[in-house]
Amino acid sequence: MARPKVTLVSSDGETFIVEQRVAERSITIKSAIEFAGVDGLTADIEIPLLIEGKVLKKVVEWCEHYKTTKFPEPDENQVDVLSRPPVLTKWDNKFFRLCFEQDMMFEIIMAANYLNINQLLHVGCTTVANMMKGNSTEQIRELFNVPNDFTPEEEAAIKREDRWTK
């Protein structure tokens, strides 16, 4: 008997048929599958998701790529993620570079958060942090298109507070 397939449906109606193990990279989807068949999935299942098709496509791509990879379990006692930074593979770098070029970096991270795909969330946040490092305030604003809502006085006050480190 053929293994049951999981169909992920995006918010704009796009469908992605994936293997169960690919879908179960997401804890959210895994829970939904378990809810549907406590003793194991015996029939195909369709899972609607609040994620746009183009974003879901990228997430599925990531899950497909890492479908057999065993990631370390997140440590609940970990105070600071810096203690265990994720290793970004060449594939990850390329994946996120394309996401950024396609203006989808943050959507991917948000989707990873929503779908509870810890590793994707972790490497996504690391990538963003790496992009910020060493950049000036103005460069960060430009890079991520963040508006400056400080008044000149407020900005000056903050800079004054930080004068010892600048």
Partner 1 sequence: MPDEILTRIIDHLNYLDVLDLSLVNSRLHVSCMNKLNKLVLCFKLQHYAIILRKWNTVTHKNFTIVKESSLSPDKLKELLGVWNLQLVRFGLSTTTFLTGLSTSPKNIAQGIEQDIRNLVYWIKESYISIQDYSISHSTIICS
Residues that bind partner 1 (CB under 8 A): 79-83, 85, 106, 109-110, 113, 121-122, 125-126, 128-130, 132-137, 140-141, 146-150, 154-155, 158-159, 162, 164-166
Of the two residues 7 and 116, which places its CB atom closer to partner 1 in the complex?
Answer: 116
CB of 41 to partner 1, least distance (A): 30
Distances (CA, A) of 24 to 3, 20, 27, 68, 108: 14, 6, 6, 11, 17
Q: Nearest 5°: CA angle at 49, between 4 and 118?
A: 85
Whichever of 32 and 131 has its CB closer to partner 1, that residue is 131
Tell me the sheet residues that pair with 103. none
In the complex, least distance from residue 150 CB atom to partner 1, rounded to whole angstroms: 6
Residue 15: strand pairing partners: 9
Our CB check for partner 1 shows the closer of 32 and 128 to be: 128
Q: How far is the CB of 152 from partner 1 (least distance, A)?
A: 12
Give the angle subtended at the CA of 29 by the CAs of 28 and 32, to the nearest 5°.
95
